[in-house]
Amino acid sequence: MIPPVRRLAAVSVLGVSVLGAVLAACGTAEAPRAARQASAQPSPARPSPAASRPPTLAPGPAGQAPVFAHAPRTGDKTVALTFDADMTADQGGRAAAGERFDNPELIAALRASKVPATVFMTGRWAEEYPVQARTIGRDPLFEVANHSYSHYAFTADCYGLPTVERDAMRADVERAYAAFRKAGVPDAMPYFRFPGGCYDGQALRAVRGAGVTAVQWDVVSGDAFATDADAVARQVLEGVKPGSVVVMHCTRSAAPVTERAVRAIVPELRRRGYRFVKVSELIGATGGHR
Ligand SMILES: [Zn+2]
């Protein structure tokens, strides 16, 4: 298999730009400025009659989707590992040529260690790997959340990703849910991670109609393009605080050392007294309503 760096050199100029963007997009760097500015404190919880619904946050200001980045620092030592299953709408040809955007060994390692996790999946990924999408979605250890259908950007300037038009943003989110249903994922969560973590007020308003809570992170693992699993593990272990959300990837070709990093991270955080939870539990602990 061609290493990612060499593969980069083998694709077109546009391909380089998009590939770099996709792989850099999900948390290799600090969240974009717009994201930081728009990051909102959770709104007060509101009771809901539907007891079985996943917890969500109350709407943000001006009709915007609420934004969640981490739980309150109450001292409760919980941490959510999140894995972005990235595949972009235009990467089908590369998958057909043998590039692997999945990471079944990572999922197996999480299962073996009984580590709950939230997988932010693109609709295109679920189309490419429907059996994996379904088994992840039907495993109570995991929850599937939405990372858009296309993995195109929801702001104009986001790591060089192609941009979703504003009036197509909600449809892109809903198309991902349709892809999950088609793959057999029964209960995808109403949580949405913007590709690249890039969003602004317009984007938050655009996706509000899809009923989602936007989910960011407070710990960047740096696993995209990483070759040193220990460095990724160190970065996570230095960053985690009670209530943290860690962003990592479930995409072998782009994040080849993630499984090894997780094998180091999990026992150490447990030794420090941390309990792994899904994003839904953190949002519930934040005062989200069910
Ligand atoms: Zn992504």
Q: What is the pTM of this model?
A: 0.85
- For 193, the token pair is 């991670």
Which domains are seen in the chain, by residue range? 4-27+61-285 (3.20.20.370)
Q: How far, in Å, is the centroid of ligand 1 from the Cα of 74? A: 29
Whole-number pLDDT of residue 277? 98
The Cα–Cα gap between 130 and 133 comes to: 5
First to last CA, the chain: 46
CA separation, residue 64 to residues 36, 195, 201, 211 (Å): 15, 17, 7, 10
Position 273 scores a pLDDT of 98
Distance 141 CA to ligand 1 centre (A): 21
Q: How far apart are the CA of 170 and the centre of ligand 1, in A?
A: 17
For 34, phi then psi, to 5°, come to -60, -40
17 C-alpha vs ligand 1 centroid, how far in Å?
15
The confidence score (pLDDT) of residue 289 equals 54
Structure confidence at residue 288 (pLDDT): 63
Is-contact 229 75, C-beta < 8 A?
no
Q: Are 109 and 259 in contact (CB under 8 A)?
A: yes
Triad 282, 172, 178: Cα angle to 5°? 80
Divide the 290 residues of the chain into consecutive groups of 10 and give the mean pLDDT of each group: 35 39 50 41 45 86 94 93 96 96 98 98 98 98 98 95 96 98 97 98 96 97 97 98 98 96 98 98 80
Residue ranges in the chain assigned as alpha helix (H): 4-10, 13-25, 33-38, 92-96, 104-112, 123-128, 130-138, 169-183, 201-208, 229-239, 258-271, 279-285
What was the pLDDT predicted at 26? 58
Q: How far apart are the CA of 187 and the centre of ligand 1, in A?
A: 21
